[in-house]
C-alpha cells in the first residue's frame, strides 16, 4: 500500500512540477523576457534535477515505512530491492523528462519565432 503510493507520487510529482515550470517559462518567452535558448537550457536543467530530488525523498519515505528499524537479513534484502526499484523509476523519470524538455524547447522556439514575426508585421 505504501509502496504503491510512493511509486505513484514519485511518477506524478515530476510531471506536475514540470508542467508548472513549463507554464512559467513559456509565459516569460511569450512576453519576450527570456530567449528560447536560455528558456530551453533553464527548463532542461530544472527538469533533469526534479526526478532526482523527488525519488530521493520517495526512497527515504518508502525505506522508513517499509523497511523500518532493526537489523536482519530481510532488511538488507528489502533495502537492496527498494534501491534497485527506485533507480529504475528514476531512469524512467529522466527519460520522460528528456522528452518533455525536447518538446518544450521546440515550443519555446516556435513562440519566439511567432513573436519575431509579429514584431516585423
* pLDDT digits 0-9 by tens, 90-106: 888 888 888 888 888 89
Measured between alpha carbons, how far is 13 from 101 in angstroms, rounded to an integer? 16
Instruction: Give, as one character, the DSSP assignment of residue 63.
Output: I
| Confidence (pTM) | 0.72
Of residues 59 and 49, more confidently modeled = 49
**Cα 118 off chain centre by:** 33
The three grid cell numbers given for residue 74, joined into one nine-digit string: 530481510
Give the model's confidence band at 53: pLDDT under 50 very low, under 70 low, under 90 confident, else very high: confident
* Contact between residue 25 and residue 42 where contact means Cβ atoms under 8 Å apart: yes
Of residues 37 and 72, more confidently modeled = 37
Amino acid at each position: 500500500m505504501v509502496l504503491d503510493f510512493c511509486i505513484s507520487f514519485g511518477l506524478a510529482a515530476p510531471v506536475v512540477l514540470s508542467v508548472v515550470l513549463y507554464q512559467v517559462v513559456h509565459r516569460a518567452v511569450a512576453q519576450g523576457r527570456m530567449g528560447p535558448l536560455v528558456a530551453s537550457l533553464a527548463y532542461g536543467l530544472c527538469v533533469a534535477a526534479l526526478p532526482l530530488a523527488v525519488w530521493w525523498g520517495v526512497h527515504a519515505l518508502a525505506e522508513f515505512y517499509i523497511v523500518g528499524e532493526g537489523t536482519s537479513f530481510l532488511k538488507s534484502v528489502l533495502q537492496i530491492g527498494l534501491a534497485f526499484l527506485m533507480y529504475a523509476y528514476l531512469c524512467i523519470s529522466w527519460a520522460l523528462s528528456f522528452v518533455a524538455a525536447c518538446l518544450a524547447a521546440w515550443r519555446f522556439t516556435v513562440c519566439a519565432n511567432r513573436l519575431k514575426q509579429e514584431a516585423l508585421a
